[in-house]
Amino acid sequence: MRENELQKAITSGRTALGIELGSTRIKAVLIDEDHSPIASGSYEWENCYNNGIWTYHLEDVWLGLQEAFYSLRTDVQNKFEIPLQSIGSLGLSAMMHGYMAFDKDDNLLVPFRTWRNTMTGQAAEKLTGLFQFNIPQRWSIAHLYQAILNNEPHVKDVAYLTTLAGYVHWQFTGQKVLGICDASGMFPVDSNTNDYDIRRIEQFNDQLKVSHIVWRLQDILPKVLVAGDRAGILTENGAKLLDPTSDFHAGVPLCPPEGDAGTGMVATNSVAIRTGNVSAGTSVFAMIVLEKPLSKLYPEIDMVTTPTGKPVAMVHSNNCTSDLNAWVELFHEFTQLLKIEVDHSKLFEILYRQGLKGNTDGGGLLAYNYVSGEHITGFEQGRPIFTRTPGSRFTLANFMRTHLYTSLGALKIGMDTLFVQEKVKLDQLLGHGGYFKTKDVGQKMMAAAMNVPVSVMKTAGDGGAWGIALLAMYMLKNSGNEPLEVYLTKNVFARENVLTIEPDPADVAGFATFMKLYKKGLSIERVAIEELR
């Protein structure tokens, strides 16, 4: 759109606003009818550690939202010389999971417990056994049950339990609802009914009776909605919470609030069956949209859904590029000793590309990138290791390929559970994150590891904030008449510049050889953890 057309779109409210509360940044993105970002604003924030709890204070939530929105309005004013007084639709997203419990008078009973807290091991283990469904420690139901097991006095007063996105949406609209992807990180959902799993609800209610708790779980959880549903309107009070100093208009319709996993799927066009996305940076996780639920429980695999309720398998590895980055930093230190000026980005590119020249199996070198523990392979702690035999082909190219390979080692083991045991089919994987920054390299390695085509978008959009803005526009323009995956492909991503790399059979075979050595050498990692204190 030309500038004058965008001005008309803004003044007439033909836009959608997405706001996502991430772990370190609150971001607001305004999009036009073509789904393109036209303005943005953000606010940096951090969790705090109080009395053994990772939390964000509620006053910081509202300050951050207001500052991010003010930053967005300033961007609109600077670009288009008009005030932002109304929008066509609004969507809210935030970090999934965690624990926000309220009493009947809407008071927060205990400080917000975020996904980062790992105090719920006993509850997660018991619920996983009870449900025969993997319940990670970060899930809301694990936090609730742990509070019950701990005999915390506030439990008897719980009248409403929600997530951060659900909380903000509730304050904006008065509606106690949640998008199905975010809901699936609170409690298991049934993709056939697009609601909480009623059998497991009753199993939990039986546990409540044992603990002499009178409320029922279904009475304290948010109502589940799917993409395309209308989820209330911005009230006068909600408009003041967002923008206390201006005349921003109430009455804006909102889409269901969603979690960051769901908005990430939308922002990467990975909501259709047999598609997936993988985020590779400090940690690495893959989310695969399944044709049907998994046949049984796998502790290394989390189950959530797309924003339309399709089952999604998530494989998460704690370690990806941290050790690789440390080696690149070592090489950077060496260039400084030689008084050669090479910036970090160029050095990464040089070393990553050198990895492409290595033997397809890494030349018999072996490394473990375990800076921290790795649950997929059964380690509570980590020790980064590089080792080789006297007969290994020790070259810089093989060294770099080995470290690029090992960054995906634990993920590969988790993904093989899907590919080998569950026979999951995957047509394409979309990659994003620092591992893919050097053109072609990360894609070729990931394609070799997963044996599927790996795509990277030339433009990454604005992440989850853009994703929830897309869901808000989808609700406004489509009302769910066209499936989300069709709508996104046709209206949003048809013009997106996507680079796809097919797996090279030689690389696939080489990675398989490397993985045999990787699995065999895990005993080395175990000894290192025991001996290196």
Burial of 435 (C-beta count, 10 Å sphere; 0-12/13-18/19+)? buried
Number of H helices, E strands in the chain: 18, 22
What angle, rounded to 10 degrees, do the helices at 198-210 and 140-149 form? 20
CA–CA distance, 93 with 54 (Å, rounded to integer): 19
Query: Which residue numbers in the chain have pLDDT < 50?
Result: 460-461
How many residues are there in the chain?
A: 533
What was the pLDDT predicted at 478?
Answer: 81
pTM of the prediction? Answer: 0.87
CA–CA distance, 375 with 317 (Å, rounded to integer): 7
For the chain, state the CA radius of gyration.
24
Q: Are 468 and 27 in contact (CB under 8 A)?
A: no
Q: What is the 3-state secondary structure (H, E, C) of 336-366?
A: HHCCCCCCHHHHHHHHHHHHCCCCCCHHHCE
Q: Transcribe 204-257 into DSSP letters.
A: HHHHHHHTT--S-GGGTSPEEE-TT----B--HHHHHHH-TTS---S--BBPPP
Q: Are 320 and 369 in contact (CB under 8 A)?
A: yes
CA–CA distance, 358 with 145 (Å, rounded to integer): 50
CA–CA distance, 143 with 166 (Å, rounded to integer): 16
How many CA atoms within 13 Å lie on the side-chain side of 154?
A: 20
Report the candidate in 308, 300, 305 with the shortest Cα–Cα distance to residue 287.
Answer: 305
- In three-state secondary structure terms, 305 is strand
Q: Are 128 and 299 in contact (CB under 8 A)?
A: yes
What was the pLDDT predicted at 480?
Answer: 58
Q: Beta-carbon neighbour count of residue 313 at 10 Å?
A: 23
CA–CA distance, 121 with 276 (Å, rounded to integer): 29
